Amino acid sequence: MDVLERYEPIIDDFEAFRAACERPLPSVVRVNTIKATPERVRRAFDEAGVEWRGREWNNAVLEIDASPGTTWPSFHGWSHGQEEVSAIPPVALDPAPGQRVLDACAAPGGKTTQLAALMDDEGLVVANDNNLGRLSALRFNTERLGVTAAPVTNQDARNFSLKEFPFETFDAALVDAPCSCEGTIRKNPTTLDDWSEGHVRSVAGVQKGILRRAIQATREGGEVVYATCTFAPEENEAVVDHVLDAEDCRLAEFDVGLDSAPGVTEWNGEEYDESVRKARRYYPHHNDTGGFFCAKLEVGA
C-alpha cells in the first residue's frame, strides 16, 4: 500500500481513503435497459431471494449480495456485472439515440453496452479495441445484452481510421484509457505489486495519443469523455492538460450525482490549466466504490 502514500497531499481524508482501499468492493450490477426495466430486474432479484440496494445517483445501478454473473437476470441478459464507478463515463457522455459514438478502448464491453442502452440501441457505437484477445469478451457481452448497434473493430486507437465508414467524424467519443489501474485495488489487491513510476509515465504517453485521436475524430461541437481507474495525475490531469494545448477543445462541467473531488491543478512541481478543476476524481471513501477519474471535453472553440 506504500504506493498510495504519494497521493496523501491531494486527498481530503487520507486515513479514510486508506481504510476504504483495504475493504472488499461491493458487488454491483447495471440493469440492461435494452432488455429489461430496473423494476423488472428488482422483482427478479426478489423472487430469487437476492438482496439488493438501489443507488440514488442511477436507477439502473444496484448493489446485490450475490456474484453478478450467477443470477437469473444475468443469464437473461437483463443485468451486467459492472463496478459502480465504471458506469460514470457513459452517463457523463450522455449520448442521444441515433448518434455516432466511438468507444475507443471498448473491451470487455461494459461501457459499450451501457452507451448502446442509453441510446435505446439506435444509432452507432463503434466498439474498438487494439487487443485482439479481448475482442471475444467484447462480442460476447454485446450479444448477451442484445446490442445490435455496436460493430466491433480492432485498431490501435492512437491511429484510429474512419476509411471503412461512410462518414468523416463521430458525434461523440469515449476514451476509457488503459492505465495503471490503481483504483481497482479493492477488487484486485495485487494491483500495485508491480507498480512503478516508469510504467505510469509510459502509459501516460499512450493515453495522450488515444485521447488526441478521439478528439480529432469527433465533429466540432461534439463531446469526448476521458476516464481512467487510477489516481495518478500523470495519467489524468496531465493527459487532459496536454490535449488542451494540442487540440481544439475545452473542458466542460458535468455532475452524475456521486460525491467527488475536483481535478488537481498542481502535482510534483507541474502546473496544469486551471480548467482541469472541472474534471472529477472519485475516491473509494466518498461513495464506497473503486477509484476513478473522469473529464468531459467539448470539441471546437
User: Active-site positions?
Assistant: 229
- Rounded Cα distance, 80 and 68, in Å: 7
Looking at the chain, how many residues does it have? 301
- Compute the C-alpha angle 187/192/195, nearest 5°: 145
Please choose, from the candidates 90, 92, 142, 97, the residue with its C-alpha nearest in 3D space to the C-alpha of residue 115: 90
The single-letter code of the amino acid at 1 is: M
Helix axes 197-216 and 237-246, enclosed angle (nearest 10): 40
For residues 247 and 250, give the distance between their C-alpha atoms in angstroms, rounded to a whole number: 9
What is the CB neighbour count within 10 angstroms for residue 46?
11
Q: Which residues contact 236 (CB under 8 A, 6 or more apart)?
A: 228, 230, 263, 279, 281, 293, 295
Contact at 8 Å (CB) between 280 and 260?
yes
Please give the span between the terminal C-alpha atoms of the chain, in angstroms, as a whole number.
42
Contacts of 143 (CB under 8 A, 6+ apart): none
- Please give the Cα distance from 153 to 145 (Å, whole number): 18
